[in-house]
Structure formats: C-alpha cells, structure tokens
Amino acid sequence: MYNKLQYISQGDTIKEQLYNIQQALDSGCDWIQLRFKNQKAKKSFALAEAVHFLCEEYLANFIINDDVHLAEQMAADGVHLGLSDMSILEARAILGNTKIIGATANTFVDVTNHINNGCDYIGLGPFQFTKTKDNLSPILGLDGYRSIIDQLNPTQKETPIYAIGGITLENVDALMTTGIHGIAVSGIITRSEHKNKIITELNEKLYGNVIV
C-alpha cells in the first residue's frame, strides 16, 4: 500500500525546490511529488534529474506532476495528472503498467472515471482554500469527502484516496474518519521551521501512532 503522506514540492527556482525537497526528505518524508509549473523544459529537466538522484538516495517515491514525457525520461516512479492534463489511458500507454499514475479529482464522477480508467491513486480536493493552486475547484470540506467516499462500492474503495488542499495538522484526525487513505500537503511542510517534528506528528496521526 502507498505511503499515507505525500509532499508536493514548492519553490519558484531550482534552488528553492531542491532546498525544500532535501529538507522534507531529511525530515522523514518518503513520497515526493515534483511540482514545478510553467518552467522552461531545460530547467524542469535539470530539477527532475537532481530530485531523482535525491529520491534514490533516500529510497523515496518520486512522482512528477503533470509531465508524462518528463516522467518517462527520468524513469520516475510515476506521474500525477491534473483534471486538464493527458488522460490516464494515454499516460499508461506511454509509461507502462509498472509505473504509478495518480489523478486529481473534485467530484464523485471524477473519482469513478479515474478508477475505471485504471489510475493507482486519487488526489481528491480541495479540502479547504489554498493559495498553492490557481483556478481552485469547489471546496469539499469534510462533508464532501464523506459524501463521495460513501458512494463508492467496496472495489472502488480499494483505490487509495488522498485529501489535498490547505490541510493543517489540526485537520488530519477528522479527515481520516472520512475514509481517505492519506493526505498530500505542501505548505504545512515547506513553511515549518521544525520539519522533522511536523512530519513525525503528521505520520503519527495518519498511522495511528505506529512508527513508520
């Protein structure tokens, strides 16, 4: 089963991205989704190459946001697709069956479509308002997660669903009661001055105080 905590990288420059990712890895995060939007291909390649080496060193999962061809070039562990990105079926044809393909969802229809198309996990959100993403989809809140997950049949529920969007430490306990598998976060880790502490506390809530 996949890790319950995903870190989505932040930073406007390669230097900022690498610093934030290195800090997250040093502090115990072992799932990195590289998100470096609206950059020239040369910069994205250079960053992805460096992050790939880091993730190999730390034995962390390395997922690339949006860019299927870059994920293929890097031999990354997988790709995460947004609602307006390449289809899951097209990505699967390029990456093959051994790579992880995650997809963003906002509605029950999104979730069921992704599952039917063979995605490996779903990032469902946003939970609440976040400045991290432009063109934010409608906010779900706890009731939104419960409503969507409760409609899924037992087979559909086997696909891990991650809550995403403005999540704080105080939200995690309540979110885990909705039936999600885990959370995908960025700002809560990036902005923390005590990353090891916040990642430990998040993992304790996600895994029920089991050491991971």
Q: Give the residue ranges of the annotated binding site.
A: 33-37, 65-66, 85, 104, 130-133, 166
Residue 7 backbone phi and psi in degrees, to 5 = -105, 125
Main-chain dihedrals φ then ψ at residue 105, nearest 5 degrees? -140, 155
Q: In degrees, to the nearest 5, what angle opens at C-alpha 27 toward C-alphas 183 and 212?
A: 60
- Residues annotated within the binding site for Mg(2+) are 66, 85
Distance of alpha carbon 200 from alpha carbon 196, whole angstroms: 6
- The 3-state DSSP class for residue 66 equals coil
CA distances from 138 to 44, 68, 170, 181 (A): 29, 26, 21, 21
Region of 173 please: left (phi>0), alpha (psi -120 to 50) or beta: alpha
Q: What is the DSSP letter of 157?
A: G
* Residue 14: closest CA among 54, 52, 43: 43
User: HSE on the CB side for 190, CA within 13 Å?
Assistant: 22
